[in-house]
Amino acid sequence: MSARAGAAGLVAALALSSCGFDGAQSLPLPGAAGDGGYTVTITFEDAANLVPKETCRANDTVVGSVVSVELDESFDAEVVCRIERTADLPGNVRATLRETSLLGERYVALDVPAGEEPTGTLADGAVIPVSDTVVHPNTEIVLGALSQVLNGGSLGSISTISRELSTALDGRAGQARSAARRLDELLTSLDANRATLVATLAAMGDLSTTLSQQRDVLADTLDRLPAGLAVLDRQRPRLTRALQRLARLSRTVVPLVQQSRDNTVADLEHLRPVLEQLAVAGEEIAPTLERITSFPFNRNTLSTIKSDYQGAYVQANFDLDTVLTLLADLEDQTPGQPDLPDDPELPGLPGLPTVPGLPGLPALPGLQEAFDVLGQQLAQRASGQRPGVVDDRLPASLADLMAGPAR
């Protein structure tokens, strides 16, 4: 009997060795994908507790299984999945590492992201990068984080804080509600002025940059500031007296200004047209004043004067007809003198000494004849007649007038 058992064991060992038995993981699981199908490589940041033979699912339907889990050069988990040939998956699927339940197995979910339409086809040898994968926290991670909070999270401090907060608010519930309401209003106002606050912070940033660039200038100014303060301290008595006198002046001037306010405003209103005209002629005022200061010469002539005098040649042309016309127009336009009251009689004055006779001036030859002819021309123009031929006795020039009539 023992010989038979030994022979059976030997046969079983030979059968298993010939079949390439590699542990329990080499055995196929019910419902998993078979040897056929195509492979897809998926990269996860963390693939803890994911082992080969775990399922790959699409829309909660098993479409394949995990073949291997290894680390790549970036220490990310590189998971190779075999997908059944009959599973037609879109090319834009996203791989998610999930769990079937709280204590269930992990699996790889291949689903299209929400809000996107399926496009393309997932081909054999396709690679899903880490940017298109999501790892949900497993139960161990959640329980570990909870353990850290419970054991080292100072939960006892929460009880102390709650007790002290209750003591502080005891009998002050109304004030607390008012403070909370005001805080809510403050936060609402800050939220409404968010753009202004952002602009203010940006302006403060620019100001800080400018101040940083002017750091040397500011340092030099601060170094010189004590000397300036010392000067102001020495001048304190004078500044005090000046301010006191300014106060007395204001007490005198302010009532005066208040009393004459209406007159001052009226004067300023009357001055407005003058100032407007001055503004219009502003560009011509300065050149005109400059010409007046050098009249009758132009301004360039003044630079040529070498002493206290300046010589000049003047040529004047007189047209007798033009002069007569101007005189006639002047006579027609001259207004009559208004009647004036008689001068009052003055009291008698003592007689003045007789002025000795002055020697007579020599008569200007030819002047009387010129005035006679001029009177004839004026008379003809006054009567509407055209002046006739000028008398030959009228001097032809200033030299003839000075020399007298020809003999």
| pLDDT band at residue 153 under the 50/70/90 scheme | low
Q: What's the confidence (pLDDT) of residue 207? A: 94
User: Hey, what are 130's tokens?
Assistant: 């880490």
> Does residue 194 belong to any structural domain of this protein?
no
> Does residue 348 belong to any structural domain of this protein?
no
Q: What's the confidence (pLDDT) of residue 349? A: 45
Q: What is the mean pLDDT of the chain?
A: 77
> Does residue 182 belong to any structural domain of this protein?
no
Query: With the C-alpha atoms ordered 43, 48, 54, 59, is the resulting torsion angle positive or negative?
Result: negative
What's this model's pTM, rounded to 2 decimal places?
Answer: 0.36
| pLDDT band at residue 90 under the 50/70/90 scheme | very high
Q: Choose the final residue of a domain: 83, 115, 143.
A: 143
Coil vs helix vs strand at 77: strand
Please give the Cα distance from 249 to 237 (Å, whole number): 18
In degrees to the nearest 10, what's the CA dihedral of 28, 30, 35, 39?
A: -100
Range of the domain at 42: 24-143
> Does residue 50 belong to any structural domain of this protein?
yes
> Does residue 339 belong to any structural domain of this protein?
no
User: Hey, what are 208's tokens?
Assistant: 């800080």
Contacts of 69 (CB under 8 A, 6+ apart): 47, 50, 51, 52, 77, 78, 79, 80
Instruction: Choose between 316 and 61: higher pLDDT.
Output: 61
Q: Choose the final residue of a domain: 109, 143, 177.
A: 143
> Does residue 115 belong to any structural domain of this protein?
yes
Q: Choose the final residue of a domain: 106, 127, 143.
A: 143
> Does residue 319 belong to any structural domain of this protein?
no
Instruction: Choose between 46 and 282: higher pLDDT.
Output: 46
pLDDT single digits (tens) 292-335: 777 666 666 666 665 556 666 666 676 777 777 777 776 665 55
Instruction: Choose between 261 and 236: higher pLDDT.
Output: 236
Contact 91, 122 (CB under 8 A): yes
pLDDT single digits (tens) 368-395: 565 565 666 666 655 655 555 444 444 5
Domain count, the chain: 2
Tell how many helices (H) and how many strands (E) occur in the chain: 13, 8
> Does residue 358 belong to any structural domain of this protein?
no
Q: What's the confidence (pLDDT) of residue 195? A: 93
